[in-house]
């Protein structure tokens, strides 16, 4: 395969689109291809118009492109909706009973499947996805045994259903001529969503307690972990009444010694804010995943946006330390979640992993084994947990848990530890957790807490520059838009433009000096964000006094494709 | 064996002199002492309000969190380490107002913790507004013409929400209070005790309860859920408060 193959699967919710997308992706995983798969869907369970897009490539990518080569049309209006995105000579698999007219679809290849007839012959219903898949693999010269294996794996315990779908696929294969020949590669990939990567990162960091109230786009984290808890008896997973209970319960569990996490989207996180301050004040380790979707209020529940950056940075009463990490791709959803657990435990504070719908619910191939080695932290030990107490650790029988002189080492005892008593307090407190109002203690305690950000800044790695360091133009972005930025910039580099991309990953503590140095080298800066108000731009201006004259902003609920962003950037270069 | 002195910390409670909270904190210490629960395995969790300072004045593990949120924290502690004895504390504003939703779901969830609510029918720490358990018509700074809402019935709410151990006690009845606390702490599951309390500064005087309380005797069958519901509701008519275990699932 020389170029990308983009397959789009569109139609009403409830017709089996997701199954078709998943099965097709796994066929290509077996063939050793890289895949980036995203979905667009409405906030309804049946009906509406949803579509999945699989970008099948020879290289590691994290973004959508525009040109669709193959369309599975599960409904008649699917063709009209996606016609403008179709490549010339693109192929459409469609039910022949839709009576799609060749005249209306010039330059396209229509492969009409007699769905009704086959359903009657096979005495089956709801097999249209299997029929399209069978026709597809034949057309592209993929061994039918691969499709059958994937179908079998997909239906697992429902063996009968797997067999019926395979049979339908075989029938459809008979109707189609082999036109292309897709070769297999020797790659072995895993296929994960951002939610999956967060889940695995948390489990590899020794997660023991997860609590969540379901909310798009991060419900899959709850589903993944609930399933994991069935076989892993050391893991407790709770679904509770609301997000206020979610975060307070996680804080309680973490205080008692369990590595704890919770997850939500912006609306749920809004309910957690008071307790973010509590975790920071009481110095309880906590990992919170925030999967952004467009707000305000209920907003666009199933779409994507990067509109919560300033919200998660500045929400809360008073000044308190918390960390905000923004993974730029699915690999980093894994590594940054692990880093979050490490920082939370070592520095006893809440750490937020900020993702969005585009990261959370898109899938891609990656070599998970390689990723898991990238960030090696020993999670078999607990950081900062004191087991034995000596006289010097105590004041009148209470543990000096909030000691002011600490050199960056923050220690706590877990309930159950002999002589380790202290009060874990949301009130301002002294070194043993006694409630206080004295000004000098208040000042010392504020410093003890706020100093954490300086210690953490020293532990964070450098953020990546894509391209020549001294390029004339630097494109700046963060999070899920990074994939499109990097590819669009690469295209411009190939045309000889002096351009690079800089992706900001650490929002708090913010690496002002590093960011200032990188951006200071460019003659021209272009900011790309999936929000209305250029929130990262505002943060950079606040921290470095660097202002962005050129911005490319999108806030219609969609992510940038590489092609769209390339065109926008070209105008500004 | 533990003595009361073992629970002593350097600071002394700063509640108003003769506040009902003194009776409650002493009863907590006595219950823990008599049950001989190791101090390091005791976790006291509270929220915000006059009552909420209690963990600062008992030597054990203490957690003083946010207004209305002691129940989720306490359940998290217990779920993370089942060896710990966990007692959550609430107030009528804290537990029945701010934390009302957590209360309903804690009853349903039945995590093995005790929940003691200091119910004095008034907001003390914010200087005397009516609370969720104030009688309809209560005149206060925020209800100069009398409050318009019906009061919450915590016992009925607990039973209806699936709680399996529901009791009422009174801060001025130390003997009865200690006994109920001990039973609640020992109970395997969510054990809820509504503790009626006077607020000598903003609310009811101590004598208010004198003629209105009575102890349930042995003839009362606490396992009959329908009767228990009746008992939970009857003070609204009779203005007499039954003390003891109102409902306990067998």
- Chain A: give the shortest CA distance to residue B39, in Å: 8
| Residue from A284, A426, A432, A437 to probe the interface with B (highest B Cβ count within 10 Å) | A426
Residue B236 lies in a domain: yes
Question: What residues contact B175, with CB distance under 8 A and at least 6 apart?
Answer: none
- How far apart CA A130 and CA A171 sit, in angstroms, is 10
Chain centroid, CA A361 distance in Å: 7
Residue B49 lies in a domain: yes
Residue B7 lies in a domain: no
Residue B108 lies in a domain: yes
Domain map of chain A by residue range? 5-173, 191-374, 391-459, 465-572
For B8, the closest chain A residue by CA position comes to A397
Q: Over 90: is that where the pLDDT of B250 sits? A: no
- Chain B: give the shortest CA distance to residue A388, in Å: 13
Q: Over 80: is that where the pLDDT of B194 sits? A: yes
Q: Read off the CATH number of the domain in which B50 is found.
A: 3.40.50.970
- Number of compact structural domains in chain B: 1
**How is residue A418 annotated by DSSP?**
T
Per-residue pLDDT of chain A (573 residues; tens, 9 = 90+): 767 899 999 999 888 999 999 999 999 999 999 999 999 998 888 888 999 999 999 999 999 999 999 999 999 999 999 999 999 999 999 999 999 888 888 889 999 999 999 999 999 999 999 999 999 999 999 999 999 999 999 998 887 899 999 999 999 999 999 999 999 999 999 999 999 999 999 999 999 999 999 999 999 999 999 999 999 999 999 999 999 999 999 999 999 999 999 999 999 999 999 999 999 999 999 999 999 999 999 999 999 999 999 999 999 999 999 999 999 999 999 999 999 999 999 999 999 999 999 999 999 999 877 777 778 899 999 999 999 999 999 999 999 999 998 899 999 999 999 999 999 999 999 999 999 999 999 999 999 999 999 999 999 999 999 999 999 999 999 999 999 999 999 999 999 999 999 999 999 999 999 999 999 999 999 999 999 999 999 999 999 999 999 999 999 999 999 999 999 999 999
> Which pLDDT value is given to residue A2?
66
The answer to whether A538 and A546 are in contact (CB under 8 A) is no
Tell me if the bond preceding A509 is cis, omega within 30° of 0. Answer: yes
Q: Does B41 touch chain A (CB under 8 A)?
A: yes
Residue B1 lies in a domain: no
Contact B63 A252 (CB under 8 A): yes
Domain A465-572 in this protein, CATH class: alpha beta
For A418, the closest chain B residue by CA position comes to B40
pLDDT digits (tens, 9 = 90+) for B203-240: 888 888 989 999 999 999 999 999 999 999 998 889 89
Q: Which domain holds residue B127?
A: 16-248
Determine whether A314 is exposed, middle or buried from the number of CB atoms within 10 Å of its CB (0-12, 13-18, 19+).
exposed
Same topology, domains A5-173 and A465-572? Answer is no
Query: Which residue in this structure is represented by tokens 């919170």?
Result: A288
Contact B76 A417 (CB under 8 A): no
Per DSSP (E only), the strands in A14-46 are 34-40
For A276, the closest chain B residue by CA position comes to B66
Give how far Cα A305 sits from Cα of A215, A288, A334, A556, B158, Å.
15, 18, 21, 8, 42
Q: Name beta bridge partners: A91.
A: A70, A109
Nearest CB to B61; choose among A236, A246, A421: A421
Q: Does B97 touch chain A (CB under 8 A)?
A: no
Give me the count of residues in chain A: 573
Nearest to B184 by CA among B92, B74, B69: B74
A152-173 as b/e: b if 16+ CB within 10 A: eeebeeeeebbebbbbbbebbb
CA-based torsion, A151, A156, A157, A159: positive or negative = positive
**Which token pair is A334?**
């894994």
Residue B10 lies in a domain: no
> Which chain A residues have a beta carbon less than 8 Å from that of B40?
415-421
Homologous superfamily in CATH for domain A5-173? Pyruvate-ferredoxin oxidoreductase, PFOR, domain III (3.40.920.10)
Nearest CB to A248; choose among B53, B66, B109: B66
Contact A249 B73 (CB under 8 A): yes
Q: How confident is the model at residue B137 (pLDDT cuts 50, 70, 90)?
A: very high
Contact A417 B62 (CB under 8 A): no
Residue B131 lies in a domain: yes
> Which chain A residues have a beta carbon less than 8 Å from that of B9?
396-398
CB within 8 Å of chain A, chain B residues 192-231: none
Please name the helix (run of DSSP H) or strand (run of DSSP E) that holds residue A466, with its range, or none.
strand A465-466
CATH topology of domain A191-374: Rossmann fold (3.40.50)
- Chain A: give the shortest CA distance to residue B82, in Å: 10
Residue B11 lies in a domain: no
For B103, the closest chain A residue by CA position comes to A241
- Chain A: give the shortest CA distance to residue B176, in Å: 29
């Amino acid at each position: 395969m020389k170029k990308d193959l983009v397959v789009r699967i569109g139609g009403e919710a409830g017709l089996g689109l997701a199954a078709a997308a998943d099965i097709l992706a796994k066929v290509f995983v077996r063939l050793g291809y890289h895949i980036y798969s995203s979905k667009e869907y409405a906030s309804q369970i049946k009906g509406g118009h949803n579509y999945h897009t699989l970008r099948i490539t020879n290289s590691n990518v994290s973004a959508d492109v525009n040109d669709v080569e193959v369309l599975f049309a599960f409904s008649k209006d699917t063709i009209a909706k996606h016609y403008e995105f179709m490549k010339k000579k693109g192929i459409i698999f469609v039910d022949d009973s839709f009576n799609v007219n060749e005249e209306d679809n010039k330059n396209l290849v229509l492969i009409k499947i007699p769905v009704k007839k086959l359903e009657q012959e096979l005495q089956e219903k709801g097999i249209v996805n299997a029929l399209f898949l069978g026709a597809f693999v034949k057309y592209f010269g993929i061994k039918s045994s691969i499709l059958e294996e994937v179908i079998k794996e997909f239906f697992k315990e429902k063996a009968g259903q797997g067999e019926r779908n395979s049979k339908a696929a075989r029938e459809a294969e008979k109707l189609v001529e082999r036109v292309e020949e897709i070769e297999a590669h020797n790659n072995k990939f895993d296929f994960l969503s951002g939610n999956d990567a967060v889940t695995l990162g948390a489990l590899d960091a020794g997660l023991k307690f997860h609590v969540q109230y379901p909310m798009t786009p991060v419900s899959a984290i709850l589903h993944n972990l609930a399933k994991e808890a069935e076989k892993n008896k050391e893991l407790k997973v709770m679904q509770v009444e609301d997000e206020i209970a979610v975060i307070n319960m996680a804080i309680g569990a973490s205080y008692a010694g369990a590595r704890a996490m919770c997850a939500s989207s912006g609306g749920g996180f809004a309910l957690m804010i008071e307790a973010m301050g509590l975790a920071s004040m009481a110095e309880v380790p906590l990992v919170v995943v925030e999967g952004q979707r467009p707000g305000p209020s209920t907003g666009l529940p199933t779409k994507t946006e990067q509109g919560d950056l300033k919200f998660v940075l500045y929400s809360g009463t008073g000044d308190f330390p918390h960390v905000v990490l923004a993974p730029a791709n699915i690999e980093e959803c894994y590594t940054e979640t692990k880093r979050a657990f490490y920082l939370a435990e070592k520095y006893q504070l809440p750490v937020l992993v900020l993702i969005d719908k585009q990261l959370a619910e898109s899938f891609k191939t990656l070599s998970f084994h390689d990723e898991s080695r990238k960030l090696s932290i020993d999670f078999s030990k607990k950081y900062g947990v004191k087991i034995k107490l000596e006289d010097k650790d105590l004041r009148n029988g209470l543990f000096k848990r909030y000691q002011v002189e600490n050199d960056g080492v923050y220690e706590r005892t877990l309930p159950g530890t002999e002589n380790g008593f202290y009060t874990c307090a949301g009130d301002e407190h002294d070194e043993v957790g006694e409630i206080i109002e004295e000004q000098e203690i208040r000042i010392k305690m504020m410093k003890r807490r706020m100093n954490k950000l300086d210690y953490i800044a020293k532990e964070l790695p450098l953020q990546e520059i894509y391209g020549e360091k001294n390029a004339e133009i630097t494109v700046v972005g963060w999070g899920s838009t990074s994939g499109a930025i990097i590819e669009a910039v690469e295209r411009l580099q190939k045309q000889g433009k002096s351009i690079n991309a800089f992706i900001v990953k650490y929002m708090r503590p913010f690496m002002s000096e590093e960011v200032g140095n990188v951006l200071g080298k460019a003659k021209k800066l272009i900011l790309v964000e999936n929000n209305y108000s250029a929130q990262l731009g505002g943060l950079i201006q606040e921290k470095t006094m660097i202002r962005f004259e050129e911005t490319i902003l999108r806030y219609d609920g969609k992510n940038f494709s590489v092609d769209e962003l390339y065109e926008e950037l070209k105008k500004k270069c | 064996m533990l003595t009361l002195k073992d629970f002593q910390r350097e600071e002394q409670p700063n509640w108003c002199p003769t506040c009902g909270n003194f009776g409650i904190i002493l009863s907590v210490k006595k219950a823990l002492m008599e049950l001989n629960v190791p101090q390091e395995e005791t976790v006291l969790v509270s929220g915000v309000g006059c009552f909420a300072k209690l963990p600062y004045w008992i030597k054990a593990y203490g957690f003083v969190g946010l207004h209305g949120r002691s129940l989720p924290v306490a359940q998290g502690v217990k779920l993370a380490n089942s060896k710990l004895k966990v007692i959550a504390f609430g107030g009528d504003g804290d537990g029945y107002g701010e934390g009302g939703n957590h209360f309903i779901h804690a009853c349903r969830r039945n995590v093995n913790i005790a929940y003691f609510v200091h119910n004095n029918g008034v907001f003390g720490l914010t200087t005397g507004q009516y609370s969720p358990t104030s009688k309809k018509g209560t005149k206060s700074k925020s209800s100069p013409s009398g409050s318009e809402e019906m009061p919450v019935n915590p016992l009925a709410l607990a039973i209806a929400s699936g709680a399996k151990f529901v009791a009422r006690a009174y801060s001025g009845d130390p003997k009865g209070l200690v006994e109920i606390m001990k039973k609640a702490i020992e109970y395997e599951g969510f054990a809820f005790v509504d503790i009626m309390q006077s607020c000598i500064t903003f609310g009811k005087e101590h004598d208010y309860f004198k003629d209105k309380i009575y102890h349930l005797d042995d003839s009362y069958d606490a396992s009959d859920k329908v009767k228990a519901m009746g008992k939970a509701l009857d003070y609204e008519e009779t203005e007499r408060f039954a003390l003891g275990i109102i409902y306990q699932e067998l």
